Each structure stands twice: as structure tokens, then as C-alpha cells.
Amino acid sequence: MTRSAGEQPAQTSAVTRQPPTRQLHVITWGCQMNVYDSGRMADVLAPLGYAPTPVPEGADMVILNTCHIRDRAAEKVFSELGRLRLLKQAREAAGGRMILAVAGCVAQAEGAEILARAPYVDIVLGPQTYHRLPEMVARASRAAGAVIETDFPAEDKFDHLPDAAAPQGLTAFLTIQEGCDKFCSFCVVPYTRGAEASRPAAAVLAEARRLVAQGAREITLLGQNVNAWHGAGPDGQPATLGRLVRWLAEIPGLSRIRYTTSHPRDMDDELIAAHAEVPALMPFLHLPVQSGSDRMLAAMNRRHTADAYREIIGQLRAARPDIALSSDFIVGHPGETEADFEATMQLIRDIGFAQAFSFKYSPRPGTPAAGAPNQVPEAEKDRRLQALQALLREQQAAFNAACAGLTIPVLFTGPGRHPGQIAGRSPWLQPVHVTGPAELIGTEVQVTIASAHTNSLSGTLNQERACA
């Protein structure tokens, strides 16, 4: 899965395709796949006349696209629902209607609970049923009582979703794989997103071409276990992600390819070779390891050792020496001792990460670790998280500082913070700010980095000429 903030509403999104007659407001929490899904829900509702609105006030429909990955997710949904309930009541008192839908992984995991606690919710839908949204809206409009769709339907939702209509801009997301069969001890994803499934190569390539035609220069392939992607190639032969990346790299105009989130077990030779041989595949990889202790990795059911992870990183660095690494870490998984934690710190020191996400273990109902007897006290989790994050912050600062003086390609994506500035991103996903003309937005230009800040870089244009 992608890094799941699960903390704050990530963004508001909605899309239109024809003259709007109704307003749709979408609130998205969590991972990039949820952001992508919100766009697709808006796509599927566009033919019904739903158009974007940035605020819930006045909306005919509000969708909460939720995340269940860590703590308090459901509570955040309920508090947001409480706020929306007032808007819905006010609208209905004025003779109008507001359809309230809860989508995403909280809906999948706690659909019945949502309807029990918030009976004013009209629709509860799990991530595999978005293509049925128009039908659910029709049913909700007709019926008294809520519509709930949280089964895993036999048909493939991607076969039933319309082509992505919303131009996603210069940097676009494309879901190629969904679900997970790995069943890590702590994780809800196999239960909320269902079994691992890959989209066919032809569908992926067609969507990628469409995104590029709409202006995308960079595509991030998404999947909970994206490097488990597999499918048949044009030659009918089975293919894995390394081959798919090569096919995508042939699309004219697509200059940058990324993929997230990966599992170490699925980093096969072909994918590592693609890092060596496909220039468009960016030298940045988010490869969650969770822990550096073999004992914990076994308890987590990760099915690899810390040394196996080190080995993969060694191969990736041999293939692409400038590759930068990112990871996810969990501290305080049941049974984690001080020695286990120290093994994680050692792995971080050994590898050196350009960035990372780290979390306190949070018991998710229904997962094996949630019922384990040897839970780690909260205060201990806090202490470990702080120590781990201090180390990771140091490494991130060192990585950014090492960029000063380098000349690197930057894909400019928009205006900068100050007049006369433009902003883009480095191959390693750092935001980069320079003084430069707006015409460069949409192009990749060489920039000499002058200084590094906590989360961004600034520099000067090497030459005011697009290099791609």
C-alpha cells in the first residue's frame, strides 16, 4: 500500500464532464490509492451531472473516502459525519437533499457500525464497488433507508469504470494492482481491499497513453503490493512489473515512471534490471521493511529477514547507484523488545534512507497481532518512535544536504511560493524551487541545487531551455 497518512483529510477532489446540475464534494483520507479512487468515483458520477465543489455547504452529495490503516480512523469519520449531519439537516429543512456516502476501508471494515451509529448516512460502499455508485445513488434517491455495498463482487470494477476523465495534471497516478494476499500480522488491507488482483497490461497501457495525451509527464503506478503485478504481455507471455515498466517507458512524452508501494519479497531480478536499464524509471524507491529484527519480521509474517532486505538494497544500488530509498517502520509491534528495536535502528544506520514513514503499532480489530498477549506499553512505543524518527530526520537532512551542488533534472509542475518562482520535483521526489519563467512548467530542466531545506531544495536554472 502507499504511505497512508490516515491522519488528516488528504484532499478534496471532484471532476466534471458535462454541464453540471449537481454538486459533489469528496473528502479523502489516507493513501494515494484513495486519492486515485476519489477521482474515479467523481468520474463515475460525472455522467449523472455531478460536478466538483470545494466545500460541503450546498453539495448535493458528499463522499467521505476513508482510511482504516491505523488508529482512530473510524472516530475521525464519525466526527466528520456529525458535522455533515447538521448540513444535511439544514438542506433538507430547506426542501433540498444531500446524499451522504461513506466509502473506502472504514466503510468496508465497519459498514454495519456506521449505519448503526449514523443512520442518516445514505450509502456505505467498499473499495471494490465504486463502479456501482450510480446505481447506489439512484437507489438511495428512491429509497428510505441506507444502501450498503461492501461485498467483493465477482466482476472487476475496472471493467466497469469509465475511462478516467479528469486530467490529473503533469504528475498522475494509475492503479495497476489492488489488494493483498500477504497477511502481515498487523495489517487490515487484505481484509478491506480484498485479494490481490492485477489490471491487464493492455488496460494499464491504454490508461497511461490517455494520461500522457492529457498532459502527464510523470506517472506513479499504484498498488497495495504494486510489484506483485503480473499479467500477460502483447506476446501472450506472462510478465511482471519490470516488463510493464519497459512497455510504459516506450510511450512518447512519458519521461518519468514511479511505482508504490512495494514488498521486498516481490523485488524480482527483472524489476531490479529495469532500474538499471530504463532511464525513465526514477531512482527512488519506497520499499517498506517495518522492522530490522528477524524475530519481529517473522512475528509480522513479512517472510524475509533483515539481511535479505539489505541484500535487495545492495542489488538496487548496484543497478542504479543514485537510487534513494524510503521505507515504512512500525515500532512497538507485539513482542518487540529493546533488542528488536535496536536491530531496527541498526538497519536504518546501515542503509541510510532519504525519507521514511514511521508509526506506532496500532491494533486493528480482526488482525492477528491485535489479539497477541504481549502488547508493548504506549509510553515505550512513544519513546521508540521518537528515537527512530530523530535518526530518520537526521538521514533525510543529510540526504538533502548532499544534493547541494548537484545539477539534476527537475520536472516543473507549477508556480512557486513567491512571484517569479516556479516549483517542481527532483528525481528523488524533493520539491525544488527556482526563479524562472512560467513557460518552463511542464518541462524537465537541469537545475543546479544551491541549498537544501528540511523538506525542499532551491537552486538555479542551468539553462533556460527544456531538456525533455
Minimum distance from residue 289 beta carbon to ligand SF4 (Å): 11
**Closer residue to ligand 5AD (CB): 70 or 199:** 70
Task: Point out the annotated binding site.
Answer: 31, 67, 105, 180, 184, 187
Minimum distance from residue 190 beta carbon to ligand SF4 (Å): 5
Kindly list the distances between the CA atom of residue 209 and the CA atoms of 51, 163, 235, 236, 254, in Å, as whole numbers in the listed order: 25, 12, 19, 20, 9
Minimum distance from residue 340 beta carbon to ligand SF4 (Å): 18
Contact predicate 37/65, CB 8 Å: yes
Q: By CB under 6 A, tell whether 177 contacts ligand SF4.
A: no
Interface pick for ligand SF4 out of 187, 271, 281, 324 (rule CB under 6 A)? 187
Minimum distance from residue 323 beta carbon to ligand SF4 (Å): 21
Interface pick for ligand 5AD out of 243, 246, 364, 384 (rule CB under 6 A)? 364
Q: Which does 263 bind (CB under 5 to 8 A by kind): ligand 5AD, ligand SF4, none?
A: ligand SF4
Distance CA 204, CA 256 (A): 16
Distance CA 295, CA 447 (A): 45
Q: By CB under 6 A, tell whether 263 contacts ligand SF4.
A: yes
Cell representation of residue 47 = 455522467
**Closer residue to ligand 5AD (CB): 52 or 334:** 334
Cell representation of residue 375 = 502488547
Minimum distance from residue 168 beta carbon to ligand 5AD (Å): 22
Q: Which does 225 bind (CB under 5 to 8 A by kind): ligand 5AD, ligand SF4, none?
A: ligand SF4
The residue to which cell 520535483 is assigned: 425
Distance CA 28, CA 260 (A): 19
Q: By CB under 6 A, tell whether 183 contacts ligand SF4.
A: yes
Phi, psi angles (nearest 5°) of residue 431: -65, 140
Interface pick for ligand 5AD out of 40, 70, 246, 286 (rule CB under 6 A)? 70
Distance CA 221, CA 126 (A): 21
Interface pick for ligand SF4 out of 41, 44, 184, 408 (rule CB under 6 A)? 184
Residues 6+ apart with CB under 8 A from 160: 131, 132
Distance CA 325, CA 346 (A): 16
Using DSSP, state whether 214 is helix, strand or coil.
coil
Question: Binding residues for ligand 5AD, how many (CB under 6 A)?
Answer: 15
Minimum distance from residue 364 beta carbon to ligand 5AD (Å): 5
User: What are the residues facing 452 on neighbouring strands?
Assistant: 457
Of residues 156 through 215, those in contact with ligand 5AD by CB under 6 A are 186-187
**Closer residue to ligand SF4 (CB): 121 or 180:** 180
User: What are the residues facing 238 on neighbouring strands?
Assistant: 232
Q: Chain centroid to CA 95: how far?
A: 39
Stretch that binds ligand SF4, among 43-51, 180-188, 380-388, 439-447 (CB under 6 A): 180-188
User: What are the residues facing 88 on neighbouring strands?
Assistant: none
Q: By CB under 6 A, tell whether 304 contacts ligand SF4.
A: no
Task: Point out the annotated binding site for [4Fe-4S] cluster.
Answer: 31, 67, 105, 180, 184, 187
The secondary structure of 113-148 as a DSSP string is: HHHHH-TT--EEE-GGGGGGHHHHHHHHHH-SS-EE
Minimum distance from residue 135 beta carbon to ligand 5AD (Å): 32
The 267-306 site mask, x for binding ligand 5AD (CB under 6 A), equals ---------------------x-x----------------
**Closer residue to ligand SF4 (CB): 189 or 197:** 189
Contact predicate 80/25, CB 8 Å: no
Minimum distance from residue 90 beta carbon to ligand SF4 (Å): 40
Angle, alpha carbons 187-193-195 (nearest 5°): 95
Contact predicate 177/224, CB 8 Å: yes
Cell representation of residue 278 = 530504463
Q: By CB under 6 A, tell whether 189 contacts ligand SF4.
A: yes
Stretch that binds ligand 5AD, among 163-171, 300-308, 345-353, 354-362 (CB under 6 A): 354-362
Cell representation of residue 77 = 469519520
Stretch that binds ligand SF4, among 88-96, 185-193, 306-314, 315-323 (CB under 6 A): 185-193
Q: By CB under 6 A, tell whether 182 contacts ligand SF4.
A: yes
Cell representation of residue 265 = 519479497
Q: By CB under 6 A, tell whether 326 contacts ligand SF4.
A: no
Q: Which does 428 bind (CB under 5 to 8 A by kind): ligand 5AD, ligand SF4, none?
A: none
The 221-250 site mask, x for binding ligand SF4 (CB under 6 A), equals ---xx-------------------------
Alpha helices in 361-442 (DSSP H): 378-401
Strands 147-149 and 99-103: unpaired
E-assigned strand segments in 301-427: 324-331, 355-360, 407-415, 421-425
Q: Which residues bind ligand 5AD (CB under 6 A)?
A: 1, 3-4, 69-70, 186-187, 288, 290, 328, 330, 359, 361-362, 364
